[in-house]
Amino acid sequence: MENIFEHNISKDEIDKLDKMTPGRKINNKKNYLKSISKDTSYADLYRLYLVRGEKQLAQKYFDKIKDKTLKYFLNN
């Protein structure tokens, strides 16, 4: 499953994403990979590319999310 660690995420970006995902830590790759679903992975990739200012790529991952509730919270 595609995930943020395959996208050359930096320590600074991990810190930013940690603030965007309360109740969840992403700084430990092994634990992160064991705990995420496909939709969560896409949501994190969406957030990563928003942080990077790459809106078109962010939208690509947003469109892959199937969970409507997750999509709602990402948009609001």
**What's the domain count of the chain?**
1
Q: What is the pTM of this model?
A: 0.94
pLDDT at 24: 86
Return d(Cα 76, Cα 39) in angstroms, integer: 17
Q: What gap in Å lies between CA 37 and CA 12, rounded to an integer?
A: 23
pLDDT in tens, the chain (76 residues): 899 999 999 999 999 999 998 888 898 899 999 999 999 999 999 999 999 999 999 999 999 999 999 999 999 8
Question: Are 61 and 49 a contacting pair, CB within 8 Å?
Answer: yes
Residue 23: what pLDDT?
83
Note whether 36 and 3 are within 8 A (CB).
yes
Print the domain residue range for 45. 4-75
